[in-house]
A and B are shown apart, each in its own frame.
Chain A
Amino acid sequence: MSQSRGSRIAGWGTANSLVILFALFPVFWIAMLSLKSPSTISDGRLIPSSWSTENYKQIFKQAIFTDALRNSLGIALIATLIAVVLAAMAAYAIARLDFPGKTLILSMALAIAMFPPISIVGPLYNMWRNLGLFDTWPGLIIPYMTFTLPLAIYVLSAFFREIPWELEQAAQIDGATPWQAFTKVIAPLAAPGVFTTAILVFIFAWNDFVFAVSLTSTSAAQTVPAAISQFPGASQFQQPTGSIAAAAVVVTVPIIIMVLFFQRRIVAGLTAGAVKG
């Protein structure tokens, strides 16, 4: 009995380790790469023979990277904020109200989410140029919002549906207007859902490459993924491998911070005690 349990734990442990190794090895690799000095960058060794932070110093000296970092942060945060607020309101209506065309809205939202971004990038490029949105922050915020809203609405309406309706009715009886009921009772309870959605939207906006590279051209709105692809080498005969590796590590950091920060908020059972379970 205990032996079989021991072997089961060992089996699971091995499987988990393999998965983690598979997922994290490339991260480790690129981190090691970024810590090599420019002269040893292509020596074919995993562990740097001489450790150096030269690559990091290098990229933060380049305006192309620091501007892109600023753009990325700004665009991703604004897109997240707007998408979450809009999605929360839409999801609340979908979860609570019965109105004609409700299923249509949901299925259309889903259809939009299934659209491959690449298929609309061309038309968007032309439209944005005509509208003066090309190479601006709104020019990226709008498509990011559009593509993340459906998913955000889906996730949030699932969360809203979990919240007992009686809570809202209790608030109504207690004298709350619908807006007060939403902001004082429902929204705080939906916080885990809101943070989950926020993470998803932020990651989408942060990681996007297709829109970023097509709809921007200068440091006015270029985000990090687009900027990395245009890093200049030290000379025209040299690949900017070290800089790319360092930049890749740097852009991973906000995501990690974001997830760690919000993870603390995503506590299971926040609604425990509201109603008899």
Chain B
Amino acid sequence: MSDIKLIDITKRYPDGFEAVKHFNLEIADGEFVILVGPSGCGKSTALRMIAGLEDITDGELRIGEEVVNERAPKDRDIAMVFQNYALYPHMTVRENMGFALKLAKVPQEEIDRKVTEAAKVLDLEQHLDRKPANLSGGQRQRVAMGRAIVRDPSAFLMDEPLSNLDAKLRVQMRAEVSRLQHRLGTTTVYVTHDQTEAMTLGDRVAVMRAGVLQQVDVPNELYNNPVNIFVAGFIGSPSMNFFPATVEGDRLKLPFAEVPLSPELRQAAGSADGALIAGVRPEQFYDPAVETGASGTEFEVPVELVESLGAEVYVHFAIGSGGPQSEELAELAKDSGAADVPSAGEGVAVARLEPGTRAKAGQRARLGIHPESIHIFDARSGRNLAMAKTPAATGSDGGAGDAEPVGDQPSSTRLS
């Protein structure tokens, strides 16, 4: 067990493409860190550099205070779980799990003991003599995990280990991975494109985009205080709504409503030199008819679609003008598929309301917005202008757990 330090790591391919740019990250001993981002953001490359499967072009990688840039994977004392498991098809589960120990010339009794132990933890005991081809997806996944844990390495590296499982199994295995990591207390770096996995699993989450680390923080901070429009849009499901906004006096003008602006926000907004984009989480809207006590700004909008999930209702409503014209947002839309960012251009926003709401598709509905929780971004740089502000007044609504729709339905920011 040991800590991992990535110091100014850069990966440049021979054709000049930089997959990872000046990446700095310190992972404490025993910490569970998630690398998350859309496909092609460099997260897997970063992980593979830690593993030693990719050369590091620039920078320094330390595992437990030792620089390991030049070491072969086998000398780094790490174990890796691959996205497609990479089980050895010609070996039984037992041989698969014991392969590393056998190569390390560990005595056979000890191999047997460790494999049996790991199999017990992973509930694989009755499958030890089967070949991977005869196992289900979840079992194969567990064998891959088992192969990693028998070695008792100083760090686990996991490259989208759950992405090949079906939705239900994924939720189960997610809990299992989390439990296992807590139990073993081994430093873990976990790569995923699924923000739900990132939010629920990690001690800390590192969001990457186009090779650049955007923000590293605990899930809650990431959710409540995103540093820029990309993190704001990527984290949370359904994702944050973005609107073009202008400041008029002490009020913020949105396409569908005018909301009062707190002094700090106003000051922050004043520092921008161009257009503004307001970001509103779906749960920051409310239905005044249901939440009678709520204090906020109310407005009326045409409802386009109502999705009821039982415990909550997603209301898609049209906003006056088209979406914001931010380069950042356009790129975000490109990264994640335009349809995935609801308000990126087509003038539709999503509100998450309590189940009692009477909003109906095709009718106008009266909604409220909590103005304290609005994020304001500089349209040009995408920077969050109010990073210093206090956590959202809606408080508990902003929790990471709430960000996740019931039943792990496809989250809008999940990428293929």
Contacting chain A: which of B129-137, B251-259, B279-287, B345-353? B129-137
In this complex, the interface size class of chain B, counting residues with CB under 8 Å from chain A, is 20 to 34
Contacting chain A: which of B97-105, B206-214, B216-224? B97-105
Say whether A185 contacts B84, CB under 8 Å: no
Other-chain residue from B53, B72, B85, B89 in contact with A272 (beta carbon distance below 8 A): B89
Say whether B87 contacts A274, CB under 8 Å: yes
Say whether B104 contacts A175, CB under 8 Å: yes
Within 8 A of A (CB), among B76-111: 78-80, 82-90, 99-100, 103-104
How far, in angstroms, from A169 to B82 measured CA to CA in the complex?
9
State the 10 A-B residue pairs at the shortest beta-carbon distance, nearest first.
Answer: A273-B133, A273-B132, A275-B84, A166-B86, A174-B100, A170-B86, A274-B89, A175-B74, A276-B164, A272-B133
Chain B residues with Cβ below 8 Å from A185 are: 88
Say whether B135 contacts A273, CB under 8 Å: yes
How far, in angstroms, from A170 to B84 measured CA to CA in the complex?
11
Most buried by B among A171, A174, A271: A174
Chain B residues with Cβ below 8 Å from A86 are: none
Within 8 A of B (CB), among A171-222: 171-177, 180, 184-185, 188-189
Say whether B84 contacts A166, CB under 8 Å: yes
Chain A residues with Cβ below 8 Å from B88 are: 167, 170-171, 185, 274
How far, in angstroms, from A23 to B140 measured CA to CA in the complex?
46
Known: A164-B86, A177-B74. A276 touches B140 (CB 8 A): yes
Say whether A170 contacts B80, CB under 8 Å: yes
How far, in angstroms, from A25 to B90 measured CA to CA in the complex?
41
Chain A residues with Cβ below 8 Å from B59 are: none
CB of B73 closer than 8 Å to a CB of A: yes
Other-chain residue from A172, A273, A275 in contact with B134 (beta carbon distance below 8 A): A273
Chain A residues with Cβ below 8 Å from B78 are: 173
Chain A residues with Cβ below 8 Å from B89 are: 189, 270-274
Other-chain residue from B53, B85, B90, B140 in contact with A169 (beta carbon distance below 8 A): B53
Other-chain residue from B73, B87, B164 in contact with A273 (beta carbon distance below 8 A): B87
Chain B residues with Cβ below 8 Å from A177 are: 74
CB distance from A203 to the nearest CB of B (A): 27
Chain A residues with Cβ below 8 Å from B79 are: 173-174
Given contacts A173-B79, A175-B74, A276-B137, 16 further A-B contacts (CB under 8 A): A166-B84, A170-B88, A170-B147, A172-B72, A172-B73, A172-B74, A173-B74, A174-B99, A174-B100, A175-B103, A177-B74, A180-B103, A273-B132, A274-B85, A275-B85, A276-B140
Nearest B-chain residue to A271, judged by Cβ: B89
How far, in angstroms, from A271 to B52 measured CA to CA in the complex?
25
How far, in angstroms, from A167 to B91 measured CA to CA in the complex?
12
* 12 pairs of residues in contact across A and B, judged by CB atoms under 8 Å: A166-B82, A167-B88, A170-B86, A172-B53, A174-B100, A175-B100, A176-B103, A185-B88, A271-B89, A272-B89, A273-B89, A274-B85
